[in-house]
Amino acid sequence: MQKQTAGGTDNGAETPVLAVDSPDTRLELGKLVMRYDPDTKTLAIPVAELRKYFTSRQVDVRDSLARLTTAGYIKHGGKSHPTRIGAGAVGGLSGIAVRCYIFDGDVIGIDETAFTQGEGQDTI
């Protein structure tokens, strides 16, 4: 099962997460801007969103992408790939492919337990 990640904050400190556990789940969290796939342990971030993030902080995009690729954070030699960010999500999210940079979840340190329901938490 794939989990859907929705981002909506400017500073990146807290990104709302929607874990899709049921076809009846429906929750509006804002614009869907990234997708984590626990099966492949990859994080897909659209090219436009990552560029917007870097430029808003006056960071050189090309240099940053080259450094992230060299460090092993970005897969596929730093090249973007078409990815369906909203595929499988409920609520009519688009399944249209978007050019994304694919990050290695293990290398960037994604904790998969952050995307699962813990004991004592309410389910949607």
Q: How many CA atoms lie within 13 A of 122 on its CB side?
A: 2
Cα 57 vs. chain centroid, distance in angstroms?
19
The H or E element that residue 53 is part of is helix 47-56
DSSP-based three-state secondary structure for 77: helix
User: What pLDDT does residue 101 have?
Assistant: 97
User: What pLDDT does residue 11 have?
Assistant: 41
Which regions in the chain score pLDDT beneath 50? 1-26, 122-124
User: What pLDDT does residue 25 have?
Assistant: 45
Q: What is the 8-class DSSP label of residue 34?
A: B
